[in-house]
Amino acid sequence: MADLSLFDLSGRTALITGSSQGIGYALAAGLAKAGASLVLNGRDKAKLKDAAARLSGNGATIHRLAFDVTDHAAARAAIDEFETSVGAIDICVNNAGMQHRAPLEDFPAGAFETLLRTNISSVFNVGQAVARHMIGRKRGKIINIASVQTALARPSIAPYTASKGAVGNLTKGMATDWARHGLQCNAIAPGYFDTPLNAALVADPEFSAWLEKRTPAGRWGNVDELVGACIFLSSDAGSFVNGHTLYVDGGITASL
C-alpha cells in the first residue's frame, strides 16, 4: 500500500501569491486540505479578506499578507516581517500573473513592461525573499506557475509567451543555485483552464470549439485539477524533483 504520508503537509506553511481568486485560490484550498497553513497574498485587501473568510470556513489556518509582488523591496519587507513575527514559510507558490492580448506589431510598450514585471519580476522578487530564509533552514519548496505558453505560442500573446518562457528558465536557475541548500524549485505549466484570466476566451464559442478540438482531452481544464501537482511538488513525495516544469494541459503539448 502506498505511503500517503509522503503527501501530508501538516505543520507546513504555504505562501501563495495572487491567491484571492482563480488558480491561486484553488491551489490554496488544495494545500489547506493537505494540512498546510496558508499565507494568502494579493494587492486588493477586500478580495483577500473575502478569500480568507471562505477558506477559514473550512477549518484552515489563514494569514493574509498584502503586498505588491512587482515591488522588490515591499516583497522582501513583508516576507522578512512574517518570518520574524509569525514563523517560517515552508512552501512558496508564485502564482501572480496577468495577460494582455494585442497583435505584436501594435503591442503597447507600457503593457509589455507591466506584463514582464507581473509575470517574471514577481517570481524573482518573492522567490529570492523566501529563499533567503529557506537556505538557512536547509529546506524549502518553491513552485512557480508557468503556462502551456512556456513551450508554445499563439497569435496576439507574444509578450506573455516570452514571460512564461522566462518563468520556466528561472525555475531551472533557482534549482541550479539552490538545490545544494536543500530547496526544491519546480514549475507547474497549466494548459487552458476556466479562470477569470481566460474569461474572454471561455465566452468565445469559436475559441472554445478550437480548443476542444486541439486538446486531446477535448475540454477546458478545471482549476481543481492543478491541486494534485501542487501537493506533490510541495511534499516529501517530490524530494528529488528539481528544476522541472510539469505540464498539466490535457495533452495539448503532446499533440500536433
Residues classed as catalytic: 160
| Straight-line distance from the first to the last Cα atom of the chain, in angstroms, rounded to the nearest whole number | 38
With residues binned 3-state (H G I as helix, E B as strand, rest as coil), the percentages for the chain, rounded to 5, are: 55, 15, 30
Give me the sign of the Cα torsion angle 225, 4, 31, 244: negative
Q: Nine-digit cell at 32?
A: 489547506
The residue assigned the cell 493574509 is 64
- Residue among 167, 142, 163 at smallest CA distance from 241: 142
Instruction: Indicate the residue type of 160.
Output: Y
For Cα atoms 26, 31, 37, give the angle at the middle one, nearest 5 degrees.
Answer: 120
